[in-house]
Structure 1
């Protein structure tokens, strides 16, 4: 799984340590709570959650959807194990932010540094102005990338961004709609517009 999402050996090792510490505890839990969805798949669900936690703690977060894609385990199953592992090990993870994903998403979309910098600024400013309250950092990052790319020469569609970020088009639109009325305040002062703010998509 780690190889599929391009993770270093340090994260594999940390995931394995988590797995060894919690395996017995969680296997017993799943046997007691006979969940048909997890029957025969508890090991994979635990391993997937361990990998997700290790990524978060090592500062190389991956989305639930990315882990789901390589593990074939549902987000719900991984999420359940994630919470149980944190409780069993009495550990925690830092809250994810838009900055955790911006560089990787923009790189995978083939966007230049100027667009990445603008998207990072847009997402951070949107948070400061409290206009994306309650939205997930991943959806805000995706919407910020969409806004920045649409204002540049390197335009990317919601679908292209959604495929990379692992979020639905409608999720990007929801965050973008919140941000659009404040677009003039969100862009960095030195951004070079190929498409002026007034001609950005309004959804």
Structure 2
């Protein structure tokens, strides 16, 4: 029996390997009797989420319960950048700059979640472009609260000259960013 439905995987644009991996994870959880008393939909969603991360095809999903013995793999801010930028209708140059900036941000000890860093980088990149995006739009597109984006922006701001590609914005442009 296929536990993670073909229709769901198709709707999410997932390949068969992810569906198979999710089913394997579910069977492990079930064999360990870890699924007793758990919400079945949440458990299946968690298995699918973990399978996506293991196959380097991350998806944003909130409120998941996961088994302790399942390795999820590392998640990086850049994993979601293309999806978030697409949701905001950003042009290719801005997307490329955001991807480079988020990659450079990993060199610094920014103690924020990868998704919060991605949202803050998008905010910075759009503020440097002609197509500025309101904080509210970035919050909706990324699922990160406006206050969290602002706090992440504060943490990134001291490093902005090192993370923003110089082909995208010059030092003078960076000085025009609003201070946190």
TM-score by length of 1: 0.75
Number of residue-to-residue matches in the alignment: 171
Listed as ranges, the matches of 1:1-203 within 5 Å are: 1-23=8-30, 25-28=33-36, 30=37, 42-65=39-62, 75=63, 78=64, 81-82=65-66, 84=67, 86-87=68-69, 91-130=70-109, 132=110, 134-192=111-169, 196-203=173-180
Could you list the runs of 5+ residues in structure 1 that have no partner in the other structure? 31-37, 66-74
Deviation at 1:4, TM superposition (A): 4.6
Deviation at 1:117, TM superposition (A): 1.8
Could you list the runs of 5+ residues in structure 2 that have no partner in the other structure? 1-7
Q: For each residue in 1:59-111, what CA deviation from the matched residue of structure 2 results, as whole angstroms up to 9, or x when unmatched?
A: 1111233xxxxxxxxx1xx2xx31x2x41xxx412210012111111122111
Deviation at 1:119, TM superposition (A): 1.3
Deviation at 1:161, TM superposition (A): 1.5
Distance 1:8 1:142 in 2: 27
Q: Which has the higher helix share?
A: 1
Deviates more, 1:112-121 or 1:170-179: 112-121
- The alignment partner of 2:117 has SS state of helix
Q: Is the 8 A contact 1:123 1:140 kept in 2?
A: yes
